[in-house]
Amino acid sequence: MTVRPNIVLVMTDQQRMDSLTCYGNCFTVTPGTAAMAAKGMCFDAALTPWPVCTPARATAWTGTYPTMHGVIDNLYGVDNAFATHSAVPETIWDHLKSSGYHTAHFGKWHLGEVKPPFFDHWEESFNSRRGHWIDGKLDGEYRPDRATDAATDWVRAQAGADAPFAMILSFYPPHDPYSAPKRFYEPYRGRGVPFAGYYAAVSALDHDLGRVRAALRDAGLADNTVVLYFSDHGDTFWYRREGEHKFVCTDDALRIPFIAEGPGISPGSRCALPVGLQDLAPTMMELAGLDIPPVMQGRSLVPLLRGDPPKTWRKGFYVQNITHISAIHQRAWRTERWKLIVSANGAHELYDLAADPEEELNIFLTPRPDGGFERFTHYPDYARQIDALAADMAETAQDLGDAEGLGLIADLRAGLSPRLAALVSAV
């Protein structure tokens, strides 16, 4: 009989992919994630399917996109979002628990105010909007440290248990307000690094990840435990015109760290294929030896983790969003080279990620007039490229049953058709 692995998830909130040394950051102090990456696999193109907390988390635990489960904004004051708000009520935790896994949650949940029935153990857990400090005093008791204390104690108690376990330790930082224990600020203050509190929090959580991995080793559980480290979405540092820290379709909000370690995963390996939070639930299902329900729209990452990727994968990554300030409904399509953002107000965007990874130069429908400045008249016409991206995007929207997305894409292509016709007649 195959021994089913334990599953440990360490989740952060609002953490940018580029905040870690294992993703190329040159100034952060993150030895915990670096050590985990050296022992396992880094996903270099991991993204969130909706760049804000509750929709992203509901996707992670159902394996379905927000337009399917229907939770498309943050929730407060509800007991259990899956019982009252989600059109997909069954979660990965239901499946794991019913199959014999012992399930536990520590930290931020943001899907309800009370303990849901699919967790056996619920400690230091809360919905959202709690301060990062237990006593409300800066540099007092850091809430992530308290949650890590509880989680590591619980992990050690699982040594010798008859049943496998699945656990999530979910941190609220580095979400604003940015703060962390004072000792983690030293690498960033006075060194020209903006948002020192954000990066201090990244380092503090990195330290807590190291404590979790050490607890697994001390309990003799590391060899049969898959550990996944990831975030729900990124942070724009107020840089983008819409959406405060997120609620936008640029990479600073979409790209997340995603690291996996455990049996069968090659040390120091990397994967460039696009993956996302919708893939967590089917991955956990396969790890547990369970059949993946047809409702799940994500794909299991287990073949990728084992170095045996399927012959076909996604052509790109599909994102759904509603901006926070203007409530503009959007869909985005990201490939290795291109980002197409389709907006209901017609303010569409195209970025060449090879030439402009910061997404600062919108080249949608160039060449175009620019009030006499001629700043966009020398760029080529990308109409054919836009149409090809929109076609692939529409194919995915069709597969996901995203009727609103299909409508947005159809409107874009209809508006593009005169430009395409002109290109054909010019040949």
pLDDT beyond 80 at 424: no
Same domain, 78 and 204: yes
Tokens read off for 414: 């209809």
Cα 239 from Cα 230, distance rounded (Å): 23
Last residue of a domain, one of 274, 305, 336: 305
Same domain, 177 and 210: yes
Please give the Cα distance from 195 to 192 (Å, whole number). Answer: 10
Banded pLDDT at 427 (limits 50, 70, 90): low
DSSP state letter for 164? -
Is residue 181 domain-shared with residue 249, that is, in the same domain?
yes
Q: Same domain, yes or no, for 297 and 409?
A: no
* 55 and 145 share one domain: yes
Structurally, how many domains does the chain consist of? Answer: 2
Residue 244 pLDDT: 84
Query: Between these two residues, 426 and 66, which has the higher pLDDT value?
Result: 66
What's the average model confidence in pLDDT over 105-126?
A: 98
Question: Would you say 165 and 119 are in contact if contact means Cβ atoms under 8 Å apart?
Answer: no
Residue 1 has pLDDT above 50, yes or no: no
Instruction: Indicate whether 269 and 346 sit together in one domain.
Output: no
Q: Smallest Cα–Cα separation from 46: which of 219, 239, 277?
A: 277
- Confidence at 96, pLDDT banded by 50, 70, 90: very high
Same domain, 265 and 346: no
Q: Is residue 318, in this structure, part of any structural domain at all?
A: no
User: What integer is the mean pLDDT of 277-301?
Assistant: 98
Buried b (16+ CB within 10 A) or exposed e, 169-203: bbbbbbbbebbbbeebbeebeeeeeebbbbbbbbb
Q: How confident is the model at residue 380 (pLDDT cuts 50, 70, 90)?
A: very high
In 238-323, the DSSP E strands lie at 258-261, 269-271, 275-276, 317-322
305, 336, 363 - which closes a domain: 305
pLDDT value of position 374 = 87
Could you tell me if 285 and 339 lie in one domain? no
Give the helix/strand (H/E) hosting 271.
Answer: strand 269-271
The answer on 282 and 374 residing in a single domain is no
Does residue 87 contact residue 69 with C-beta atoms inside 8 Å? Answer: yes
Q: Could you read off the pLDDT of 251-287 as tens digits, one per residue? A: 999 999 999 999 999 999 999 999 999 999 999 999 9
Q: Does residue 349 surpass a pLDDT of 50?
A: yes
- Do residues 299 and 367 both lie within one domain? no
- Is residue 65 assigned to a domain? yes
**How much is the average pLDDT of 332-338?**
98
Are 128 and 146 in contact by the 8 Å Cβ rule? The answer is: no
pLDDT value, residue 372: 82
Do 249 and 333 reside in the same domain of the chain?
Answer: no
Structure confidence by residue, pLDDT tens digits, 133-188: 999 999 999 999 999 999 999 999 999 899 999 999 999 999 999 999 999 999 99
Q: 405 lies in which domain range?
A: 328-426
Residues 145, 203, single domain; the answer is yes
**What's the pLDDT tens digit per position in 188-237?**
999 999 999 999 999 999 999 999 999 999 999 999 999 999 999 999 99
Domain end (from 240, 272, 305):
305
Average pLDDT over the chain, rounded to an integer: 96
Taking the chain, what is the end-to-end CA distance rounded to the nearest angstrom?
65
Tokens of 390: 């929109």
Instruction: Using CA atoms of 115, 119, 122, 128 in order, give the dihedral in degrees to the nearest 10.
Output: -50
Query: Token pair for residue 214?
Result: 């050490």
Inter-residue contact 28 to 193 (CB < 8 Å): no
CATH of the domain at 262: 3.40.720.10
